[in-house]
Each structure stands twice: as C-alpha cells, then as structure tokens.
Amino acid sequence: MDLALALRAFVRTVERGSISAAARDLSVSQPAVSKHIRNLEGHVGARLLERSTRLVRPTPLGQTLYEESRQGLATIDAALEGVRRDMGAVEGMLRVHAPTCIGAKQLHPIVLAFQAVHPGVTVDLALENRAVDLVYENFDLALRLGRPESNGLIIRQIGVVRRILVAAPALLTRIGPVETLAQLAEAPLVGPLSTAPLETLTLFRSGTACEALVRPVLRSNNPDVVVRTLMDGHAVGPIQTLLVPDELRDGRLVRILPDYEFRSSEAFLAYPSVRFMRPVVRAFTDFAIARLRKVDGIDAADAPAPAHGAAASSRRDPATVDGLQRLSVQAGPD
C-alpha cells in the first residue's frame, strides 16, 4: 500500500463528502479511491468512514486522522515545491476563484503575466458571482469583495471598491438632467440581478442612509451587459468604478448625483488556513496583490473617495428628500 496516496484519497473524500467527487479531484477512478480507503482502514485497524446513500462522513477516529494528516500532506507538498523553488522554479497547479466583475478585466491579465514569469504554473481561473468553500471545492485562493465570514480563512486586504451612479451624456440630453432623487426615480435604470424586486437603491449622503425609489428596465448579473447598457444610453445605473475608469475619464460616462454614494466593498485575497501555503500560492499572492492595488478603481482602504468624471450638473437641490414621495432615512449605515 502506498500510504501517502491512501491518505490523500482519504483526506479528499472527507473534504468532499463523496468518494466519486474525491476521485474526480484526484483524477483517478472511484474504485481506486475506495481501494485506497479500504487499505488504509486495514492498516490502522479501524473504520474511518461512515457511508450512506447520500453522504460519506468520518467516524470519530477518522476525524482525528483527517485533522492530523491533512496538515502533514500539505507540508510535504510545500516542502517539495520549496525545493523546486530554491532551484529557481515556481510550478504546479493553482486554482483561483473570483467574482466576474473583477475577474475577467482585472485578474485575468494578472494571471497571464504571472504565467509569463512562471511558465510551469497551470491555472484554473473560475469566475462566478458566488461565495465558495475553498477547501470543499479545492481552490487555493479566492478574490473576495466583502470581508469573508469564515474563521478558517487567512485574508490579505487589497483595497476598497466603490460604486457610483453614472449615465451616458446622450441619455441625459434625451431625458434631461438627473439632479435629485425624484428625477432618479423617473429615469430608466439598469441594476443588479437578484431574486427580490429592485424597487429601491440604498444610497449614503454624509453618512446617512436612504432608500431611493428606482425604475429598473433591465437587471443582469453580467457586468459587461450592465456596462454596455450604460454606454448605449439605454439607462442610468450603479457601477463599480473599476469597470469603467476609461469611460469616466474621457467623458463617455458621467457621474450623476455626486453627493450620494453606495456602501464600499473591501477587496481581499483569501486562502484556507488549514493548508501550509505552497510556494506557487505564495508567489502568486504577492504578485497579484501588488498589481491589484494599482488597478484604477481599487482605492486604498483609508483613502478619500476620488472624483470620477464630470457630473451632469453642478447644481444641487437642498430639497432632494422632500421631492421624493417614498424615501426612508435611517440613522447611519448598518
């Protein structure tokens, strides 16, 4: 019996809760994983897994073995990669997860640049608008917008991503300026896709939150669709500044209601703390963070909000709140 292979099969089965899923992750057959686990149970003289039709989970003895062996296997992997690194090679598989809004335009070029420096690295780059369990889904690290809630993650802050309301000048010429929340309520709006109806936007003015009525004509979970809709002058809408820095700079999009802003999102790189950080993960983390912090639209956490483009009009309406029939004001952000 190859003890290292048997332990790897066992550890991955516990993490995935499935022998077939572990087999896919390890690129071996399901019978091979089952054989490794049977041999391991025979070697230790104890049952390590409880099997049902829906789930595979460790016995108490199996849980103890899992907790002790997973770190040892990760340390072995890191030691082997460390030797290759000392010989000048950073190589191996790297699995990265990121949201689509930042992954395609900002992170993808960084991945390509990293591979140009380290051609021995193979990258799986998954771009999805959902949170993932890094251990269960076998990701080495993830780019997250918003502080990760799991206590089992190590996080490194990148900066702050801000959202603002924008419109194409041609749209404002056609429908008139959007200078008050009442005018925003009458304007066509493109917004994020969600299961709940999009009837209001939560905006902040001088630290006070308010719910502004909106009239959505299109909702999408694809940032390219939102940007194209804004650029075509089809609607006004909220957008992350990192998605449209050039458009704001050259005036193809302009900021509206500049006194109002959305709650900012902190950007982090996160990786599982249960794993000894392999050299390829450490190298990519350092490489990516330095470049992500230079992205136009990712600001330092303590930096003031920058001005983006020219507002459609500099005139302010002090009676904005009174001009909207349905507007709830809360005492500061949650």
**Looking at residue 116, which CATH number applies to its domain?**
3.40.190.10
Q: What is the CATH number of the domain that holds 196?
A: 3.40.190.290
Do 234 and 293 lie in one domain? The reply is no
**Whether 121 contacts 280, CB under 8 Å:** yes
C-alpha distances (whole Å) from 90 to each of 87, 97, 268, 291 are 9, 20, 23, 19
pLDDT of residue 302: 65
Choose from 14-28, 137-151, 284-298 the range with maximum mean pLDDT: 284-298
Task: Report pLDDT for 68.
Answer: 84
**Nearest-CA neighbor of 148 among 297, 268, 247, 64?**
268
Other CB atoms within 10 A of residue 158 CB: 24
The first and second tokens of residue 12, run together, are 């991955």
pLDDT of 58: 87
Residue 127 has pLDDT above 60, yes or no: yes
Task: Give residue 186's pLDDT.
Answer: 95
Domain annotation covers residue 319: yes
Pair (82, 197) in one structural domain: no
Closest CA to 191 of 157, 245, 227: 227
Q: Which residue has the higher pLDDT, 56 or 311?
A: 56
| Domain housing 47 | 3-86
172 and 311 co-located in one domain: yes
Across 72-80, average pLDDT:
77
Task: Say how many domains are in the chain.
Answer: 3
204 and 240 housed in the same domain: yes
Residues 112 and 97 in one domain: yes
In a domain, 252, yes or no: yes
Is the pLDDT score of 167 beyond 90?
yes
The torsion region of residue 158 among left (phi > 0), alpha (psi -120 to 50) and beta comes to alpha
Residue 314 confidence (pLDDT): 34
By the 8 A CB rule, do 192 and 223 touch? no
Q: What is residue 322's predicted lDDT score, i.e. its pLDDT? A: 31
- Relative to beta strand 328-330, strand 208-213 is antiparallel
- Residues 293, 307 within the same domain: no
Residue 175: what are its φ and ψ, rounded to 5°? -105, -10
Please give the angle made by the CA atoms of 43, 44 and 45, to the nearest 5 degrees.
Answer: 95
List, for residues 16-74, the tens digit of each pLDDT value. 888 888 888 888 888 888 888 888 888 888 888 887 767 788 888 888 888 888 878 87
Q: Are residues 120 and 99 in the same domain?
A: yes
pLDDT at 41: 85
**CATH assignment at residue 35:** 1.10.10.10
Q: pTM here?
A: 0.65
Residue 244 has pLDDT above 90, yes or no: yes
Quick one: average pLDDT of 319-325?
30
pLDDT-derived band at 87, boundaries 50, 70, 90: low
According to the model, what pLDDT value does residue 137 have?
85
pLDDT for 56 equals 86
126 in a domain, yes or no? yes
Task: For residues 192 and 326, state if they share a domain.
Answer: yes
Answer whether residue 269 is part of any domain.
no
Q: Which residues contact 162 (CB under 8 A, 6 or more apart)?
A: 240, 241, 261, 262, 264, 265, 297, 299, 305
Q: What is the pLDDT of residue 184?
A: 96
118 within domain boundaries: yes
pLDDT computed for residue 303 by the predictor: 57
Q: Using the predicted structure, report yes or no on whether residue 3 has a pLDDT greater than 90.
A: no
Residues 212 and 310 in one domain: yes
For residue 292, being part of any structural domain is answered with yes
Tell me: do 223 and 322 sit in the same domain.
yes
Q: Which of 86, 115, 136 is the last residue of a domain?
A: 86
15, part of any domain:
yes
Residues 137 and 285 in one domain: yes
Same domain, 142 and 280: yes
Helix ranges restricted to H, the chain: 3-16, 19-26, 30-44, 60-86, 100-102, 108-117, 169-175, 181-186, 223-231, 245-249, 279-292
154, part of any domain: no
Over range 94-123, report the average pLDDT. 93
